[in-house]
Amino acid sequence: MSVAVRVFVTGIGIISSIGFNCEETEDSLKSGKTGIGTMKNLVSVHSGEIPVAEVPASNEELEDLARIRKTGYSSRTTLLGIIAAGEALRCSGLDEDIGSFRTGLISATTVGGMDRSEKFFKSYIQHKSGGRLRYIVTHDCGDSTAAIADTFGIRDHVSTISTACSSSANAILTGARLIKGGLLDRVIAGGTDALSLFTLNGFNSLMILDKKGCRPFDEDRNGLTLGEGSAFIVMESETVTARIGKKLLCEVSGYGNACDAYHQTASSPEGGGAYLSMKQALHCSGLTPDMIDYINAHGTGTKNNDLSEGRAIERLFGYLPVKFSSTKAFTGHTLGAAGAVEAVLGIMAIRNGWIYPNPGFARQMSELRITPEKKLIRNTRIRNLMSNSFGFGGNNTSLIFSEC
């Protein structure tokens, strides 16, 4: 490529257990309010014993928030996605005019319409003719993406990524690359995942759900806490932003994607894939480790992830006084949405000059020398922020956002 095209973020939108929109999310982060609690919407035999980070609204209430015609047939994943993508588009001033540049939507999800399919399946396994078909047609991962694209009239490029817990980080990475490669001018990228019995029981069968709520990077951590939510960012090429004089929130300055290639669910003890993805992101951005002012870690709270990620951070950043934390104890682990949720939190951190604390942390991990932040730091300057998302199958992605 001849001249590198710069890619800027001009809009953000988010919905999670700590807020229905950006403003509420910032308030929760400021006041230290976490979204982890008892299940209210999801109905499970585990409801009393396993905490989750639910969006505190029924599907019907979400339909109102999504400003769509009430049918009762959309999956929760779709509704969350429409809400967050809608906010990102309004934030970028695009809700009125989306057609003027080559615009793409890249969404990510791991469960898709599973909240509906598992209802269908319950009847289906009784009898092959059982189950309402309206509950199964939203099963595939493309369904929520197609619904978002239809709602906002996006036609030029529509795609869906599913790389487990790094899915939406890869949506952002791919979106930035499509702009840099000259294929699109503007991309709405992010992800959406609703809580489902499928994922709750899946992670529970792996025995990696912490019954006390997740405690990332804590010596006594005992697993993750599942969350749900959606977040999207609007990225535009500098040609577009310059031409229409857009307000810029930050720059997408680097990204790296590498595969741990170690095990389907476990990460390598030394965090080989994590190290590679962070290193590639730095290389892509042309930055050196000392220029990263804050790392929003993947930090799920599982024994395995936090150790390998911590070691990879130490290996790459040496023993620089690097500031890092995991925000998973705020939002829960929102799976396919996590990369975008944390990208939006990261962009808020850059805009507000914040470094987030790491709720759940009490005791230093014996294997690590680095320590996550304990309190919210305000009025600090974040020139560059790294956001990590690591998934099952060793699908690791790191993003770098920079002030502008």
Q: Which residues contact 266 (CB under 8 A, 6 or more apart)?
A: 304
Task: Report d(CA 25, CA 134) in Å as an integer.
Answer: 33
Instruction: Report the residue number, 139 or 246, with the smaller CB distance to another protein.
Output: 139
- Do the beta carbons of residue 397 and residue 166 sit within 8 Å? yes
Instruction: Report the residue number, 325 or 334, with the smaller CB distance to another protein.
Output: 334
Choice from 150, 220, 290, 367 touching another protein (CB under 8 A): 150
Choice from 264, 288, 366, 379 touching another protein (CB under 8 A): 264
Choice from 17, 41, 237, 395 touching another protein (CB under 8 A): 395
Rounded to a whole number of angstroms, the CA Rg of the chain reads: 20
Instruction: Report the residue number, 75 or 109, with the smaller CB distance to another protein.
Output: 109
46 binds another protein (CB under 8 A): yes
Choice from 138, 204, 241, 326 touching another protein (CB under 8 A): 204
The pairing of beta strand 395-402 with beta strand 384-391: antiparallel
> Can you give the three-state secondary structure of 80-117, one letter per residue?
HHHHHHHHHHHHCCCCCCCCCCCEEEEEECCCCCHHHH
136 binds another protein (CB under 8 A): yes
**Which of 69-77, 203-211, 292-300, 326-334 is the region at the interface with another protein (rule: CB under 8 A)?**
203-211
Choice from 273, 301, 310, 339 touching another protein (CB under 8 A): 273
174 binds another protein (CB under 8 A): yes
Q: How far is the CB of 233 from another protein (least distance, A)?
A: 19
Choice from 31, 205, 288, 379 touching another protein (CB under 8 A): 205
**Which of 26-34, 120-128, 232-240, 296-304 is the region at the interface with another protein (rule: CB under 8 A)?**
120-128
117 binds another protein (CB under 8 A): yes
Instruction: Report the residue number, 106 or 350, with the smaller CB distance to another protein.
Output: 106
Task: Report d(CA 398, CA 257) in Å as an integer.
Answer: 7
- Do the beta carbons of residue 39 and residue 23 sit within 8 Å? no
Question: How far from each other are the two terminal CA atoms of the chain, in whole angstroms?
Answer: 23
Instruction: Report the residue number, 116 or 323, with the smaller CB distance to another protein.
Output: 116
Instruction: Report the residue number, 136 or 376, with the smaller CB distance to another protein.
Output: 136
5 binds another protein (CB under 8 A): no
**Which of 12-20, 80-88, 194-202, 223-231 is the region at the interface with another protein (rule: CB under 8 A)?**
194-202
The mark string for 347-366 relative to another protein (x by CB under 8 A, - otherwise) is --------------------
Choice from 61, 95, 140, 238 touching another protein (CB under 8 A): 140
129 binds another protein (CB under 8 A): yes
262 binds another protein (CB under 8 A): yes
155 binds another protein (CB under 8 A): yes
Task: Report d(CA 388, CA 398) in Å as an integer.
Answer: 5
Q: Which residues contact 393 (CB under 8 A, 6 or more apart)?
A: 163, 164, 259, 264
**Which of 15-23, 28-36, 141-149, 219-227 is the region at the interface with another protein (rule: CB under 8 A)?**
141-149
Q: At what angle do helices 303-317 and 272-285 cross, to 10 degrees?
A: 40
Residues that bind another protein (CB under 8 A): 1, 44-46, 109-110, 112, 117-118, 121-122, 124-125, 128-129, 133, 136-137, 140-142, 145-146, 149-150, 155, 157-164, 170, 174, 177-178, 180-181, 183, 197-198, 201-202, 204-206, 257-265, 272-273, 276, 391-395
